[in-house]
Structure 1
C-alpha cells in the first residue's frame, strides 16, 4: 500500500519576518529614488586665429587654419597688387558653423561688428566658400566705414575677390579659368554686374577692368567705391563709348594674351589637327593634301616655308600638349624634321606611324572620357 503524504505549512520565525520586511522596504525605497540626470557634455573647444581681415573661429583647428589662410591671402592681394593697407578696425568675426536657415556664407552686423557665418562644406566647395567669406568680410567692413549696409557692395566684387583669393593659393586656377573662358560664350555685362554670371566671368571682368583704370590707386578707388554700393557701370560709361563693346573686346584680348601652361585633351587634339592639315595650290587650285601625298611637292616654295613654320611652332608648343597626345606630336615632329631630305619611303613610314599614334591617342581619350563621366561606385 502506497504511503500517504501529509501537507505541512512552513512558518517563519519572528526574526526572519523582520528581516524580510526590512528587505522589502529597502527595495521599495530604492525603486522610488529618481534616476540621476546624465552629466552635460563638456563645452566644445573653440579655436581662433587673428588675421588682418577677420578673427576666424571654429571648433576644428584644421578648418580655422584653412579659412585663416584665405583671409591672409586676400590681405596680401590687396596690399601687394592694389597697394591697399589693412582696413581700419574693428576686425570682422568669421565663425565656422552650420546654422539652420543660413546661407553657406551669411553676413550680418552685430553690435557694429561684421559677423560672417560660414558653412565650409566638402572639399570641392570649401576653397570657393572660404574665399567668398574672406571677400565678404572685407567688403562689409569697407561699407560700414561710411555707414552703409554690410551687403551693399556690388555682387561682382564678391565673386571677383573670391576668385583672386583662390588664385593666390592655387595658381593653376588662373589657367583653368582662362581656358574655360576661351571655350565659353561671354556673359553679358549686365549679368556680371548683377552677380548672375559664373564667378569666372566676374574674375575676367576685374582682370580686364584693371588696365583700363590705370594705376593701382585708381583700381583701389574703384574697388572701394563698388564695395560701398557705387556702380562701376557709371565709371565705365565715362571712360569708354560703349561698355558692352569694351567688355567683349577686352575679354578677348585678355584671353588671347595669356597662353595656358598646359592644354587639355580636346585642345591638344584640335591643335594637332590644325598643324597637320595641309592646304596648298599644286597646280589645281587650293586643295587639301594628306601628308602622305605631300613629299612630291616639297620643292615648292610655299610648301617649304609652311613646313618650316610648322616645325618651329611644334617645337614651341609640344611641351604644353596633353600627355595623351604626346607620342603623336613627337612622331609628327620627326616627320617634319626629316621632310626636306628623307626618302619618300621613310617619310611614308613615319606618316603611317603618326597616324597609328593619333588613332591610339583617340582611343585612350575615349576611355578617359568614359571613365570621367561614369558614376563613381559606392565604396563597400
Structure 2
C-alpha cells in the first residue's frame, strides 16, 4: 500500500470530482484484479482483501486468468455525502475498456451487495475483453448471482438458513424464466436465490463434473440459452420428471427440505488458507516481498499492521465455514497475526509461527493422504 503522490492524476483516471481534492490522505491497494482507492486506510485494505478472495473464487470457478483480461478494475470508496449518486454502487466502462466500480461508502452498504458488485465487475471485465461491449447486453443473470452468493455464504455461512427459509416462503420462478433473465439487475432477492440454487443443483445434486458446470456458466455469461444443453444432460435419467421445469422443482424440494451443512471441502479450505497466509501483496517501499518468516522486523509498519488486522477479522468471519480439518490451522494463523499485532517478545512470535506451520503442514499431509486413498478407492 502506498500514498498517492499525484492525486489530481488519479482523480482524472477514476473519474472522481476534482472538487474532492483536499489535504486529506488517499490510500491505494492494488493487484492484477482490483485497484482500490479511498480516504480510510482500513477500509481500503479490507475491500482489497475481499476483492482478492472473490477474484480467487472466480478464477477457480470460471477457469480464467486475470492477466488475460485487461488492467485492474478501478474501485473507489466515495464518501456518501460526496458520491454524487444514490445507488450503493455504480459500474462503468471507459472509452478504452477501463472498468470502474464506485461505491457509495456508508453503513447502508451490506457485505452481500459488496460481494455482488465485485463479482459483477470481474465478470464484466472478462466479458468485455473476451467478446466485446455488445456481448454484455445478453449476459444471463443467474451465473453472476450464483457466483456472488457463493462468495457471500463462504464469509457468512449462517445466512444459508435465512436463505433457505426465505426460498420456502416464495413461489419459485420456472427454470426457463431463470435461464432467460438477462442483464445485471439481480437486486430482486429471488434472482440471487434462484441462481445459487441452480448452481448447487448442477454441482451437488446431479454431480456434474466441474468442467461441465463451468461450461454452462460461461455459456450463460456469454448470452447463450443453455436449456437445450441441460435437457440433453438430464435425458434419459430424469425423463420421468416430465420436463426441465419438473427437474427444477424436484431439485428445489430436495435442497429446501434438507439440513444444510455449511462446511467447505478440504480443497476449498486449503486454498483459502494458503491465500490468507500469503503476505506478498502487502506493499513495502523498496523491499523484497513479505512472508511469514521475515515479517517480525516489519510488524510495526502501518501497512503491515492494517493488513494483519484485516486478516484477523477475515479469519474470524471464515471460521464457522472452514472445513473442520483445517479449523486448527486457521485458529493458529489468527493467533500468529494477533501476536504480531500485540507482542513485543520475539520468542512469542517464533512460537506462534512454529505452531501454525506445524499444524498446517501436518494437515496438508493428511489431506494428501485422504486424496490418494479416495482416488485409489474410486
- 2:24 counterpart (26, 44, 51): 44
Q: Is this contact kept in 2: 1:54–1:137, CA < 8 A?
A: no
* 248 and 100 in structure 1: CA distance in 2 versus 1, 3 angstrom threshold: same
- 1:53 counterpart (33, 55, 58): 33
Where structure 2 has 5 or more consecutive residues not aligned to the other structure, the ranges are: 1-19, 263-378
* 253 and 146 in structure 1: CA distance in 2 versus 1, 3 angstrom threshold: same
Q: Is this contact kept in 1: 2:168–2:256, CA < 8 A?
A: yes
Give 1:125-140 correspondences, 5 Å limit: 125-140=109-124
C-alpha distance in 2, partners of 1:90/1:182? 42
Q: Is this contact kept in 2: 1:74–1:135, CA < 8 A?
A: yes
The count of residues paired between Structure 1 and Structure 2 equals 221
Task: Find the counterpart in structure 2 of residue 250 from structure 1.
Answer: 251
C-alpha distance in 2, partners of 1:147/1:83? 16
C-alpha distance in 2, partners of 1:44/1:91? 24
Q: 1:132-189: per-residue Cα shift (whole Å, max 9, x none)? A: 1211111111101223227442222222222112112112122332233334332333
More deviation, 60-69/110-119: 60-69
Deviation at 1:77, TM superposition (A): 2.3
Deviation at 1:45, TM superposition (A): 2.6
* 45 and 154 in structure 1: CA distance in 2 versus 1, 3 angstrom threshold: farther
C-alpha distance in 2, partners of 1:76/1:41? 34
* 171 and 247 in structure 1: CA distance in 2 versus 1, 3 angstrom threshold: same
| TM-score normalised by structure 2 residue count | 0.51
The SS at the match of 1:100 is coil
- 1:187 counterpart (173, 176, 179): 173
* 185 and 140 in structure 1: CA distance in 2 versus 1, 3 angstrom threshold: same
Task: Find the counterpart in structure 1 of residue 89 from structure 2.
Answer: 105
C-alpha distance in 1, partners of 2:169/2:22? 54
C-alpha distance in 2, partners of 1:210/1:105? 31
Where structure 1 has 5 or more consecutive residues not aligned to the other structure, the ranges are: 1-39, 262-380
- 1:119 counterpart (104, 126, 149): 104
Q: Does 1:146 align with 2:158?
A: no
* 41 and 135 in structure 1: CA distance in 2 versus 1, 3 angstrom threshold: closer
* 249 and 238 in structure 1: CA distance in 2 versus 1, 3 angstrom threshold: same
* 225 and 101 in structure 1: CA distance in 2 versus 1, 3 angstrom threshold: same
Give 1:336-351 correspondences, 5 Å limit: none
Q: 1:295-336: per-residue Cα shift (whole Å, max 9, x none)? A: xxxxxxxxxxxxxxxxxxxxxxxxxxxxxxxxxxxxxxxxxx
Q: Does 1:206 align with 2:199?
A: yes
The SS at the match of 1:122 is coil
Q: 1:31-83: per-residue Cα shift (whole Å, max 9, x none)? A: xxxxxxxxx97343322222453212222223323322322221232355666
Deviation at 1:107, TM superposition (A): 1.9
C-alpha distance in 2, partners of 1:87/1:155? 25
C-alpha distance in 1, partners of 2:207/2:130? 23
Deviation at 1:229, TM superposition (A): 2.3
* 155 and 259 in structure 1: CA distance in 2 versus 1, 3 angstrom threshold: closer
The SS at the match of 1:115 is strand
C-alpha distance in 2, partners of 1:156/1:121? 28
* 170 and 87 in structure 1: CA distance in 2 versus 1, 3 angstrom threshold: farther
Tell me how large the CA RMSD over aligned residues is: 3.0
* 85 and 42 in structure 1: CA distance in 2 versus 1, 3 angstrom threshold: closer
More deviation, 224-233/189-198: 189-198
Query: Radius of gyration: which is bigger?
Result: 1
| TM-score normalised by structure 1 residue count | 0.51
Q: Is this contact kept in 1: 2:88–2:104, CA < 8 A?
A: yes
The SS at the match of 2:37 is strand
Q: Is this contact kept in 1: 2:33–2:71, CA < 8 A?
A: no
* 113 and 214 in structure 1: CA distance in 2 versus 1, 3 angstrom threshold: same
* 232 and 135 in structure 1: CA distance in 2 versus 1, 3 angstrom threshold: farther
C-alpha distance in 2, partners of 1:49/1:175? 34
More deviation, 79-88/155-164: 79-88
* 113 and 189 in structure 1: CA distance in 2 versus 1, 3 angstrom threshold: same
Give 1:356-371 correspondences, 5 Å limit: none
